[in-house]
Structure 1
Amino acid sequence: MSITQQQLLQILPNARPVAGVFVSALNQAMARFDITSPVRQAAFVAQVGHESQHLTKLSESLYYKDAARVAGLFKYGFDLNRNGKVDAAEVADAQAYLRNSEKLANRVYANRMGNGPEASGDGYRYRARGCIGITGRDMYRRCGHALGLPLVDRPELLELPGNAALSAAWFWWDHGLNELADAGAFDSITRVINGGQTGREDRLELWAKAKVALCLPSI
Structure 2
Amino acid sequence: MFDVKKLQQRLGVSDDGALGRDTLTALFLKAGAKAEIAPELGLAANVHFRTYGLVENGLRLAHFMAQCAHESGGFRYNREIWGPTAAQKKYEMHAGLGNDQPGDGLRYLGRGPGQLTGRANYRLYGRKLGIDLESNPELLEIWSLGLLAFCAYWDNCSLNGWADQDNLKAVSNGINRGSPTSTKDPNGWTDRQDRYTRMQALIL
| Aligned partners of 2:116 and 2:122 also within 8 Å | yes
User: Which residue identity lines up with residue 54 of structure 2 in the other structure?
Assistant: I
Determine if the alignment matches structure 1 residue 115 to structure 2 residue 99.
Answer: yes
Mapping 1:46-195, distance limit 5 Å: 46-63=66-83, 70-71=85-86, 74=87, 105=89, 108-112=91-95, 113-117=97-101, 120-195=102-177
Aligned twin of 2:201: 212
Equivalenced residue count is 175
| Aligned partners of 1:9 and 1:16 also within 8 Å | yes
SS at match of 1:63: coil
Unaligned runs of 5+ in 1: 65-69, 75-103
Determine if the alignment matches structure 1 residue 23 to structure 2 residue 7.
Answer: no
C-alpha distance in 1 between matches for 2:140 and 2:117: 11
* Structure with the larger RCO, 1 or 2 (CA within 8 Å, 6+ apart): 1
Aligned residues with identical type, % of pairs: 28
RMSD: 1.9
C-alpha distance in 1 between matches for 2:143 and 2:59: 23
Greater shift after overlay, 21-30 or 174-183? 21-30
TM-score when scaled to structure 2? 0.77
Unaligned runs of 5+ in 2: 1-18, 178-184
Determine if the alignment matches structure 1 residue 199 to structure 2 residue 191.
Answer: no
Aligned twin of 1:78: none
| Aligned partners of 2:62 and 2:199 also within 8 Å | yes
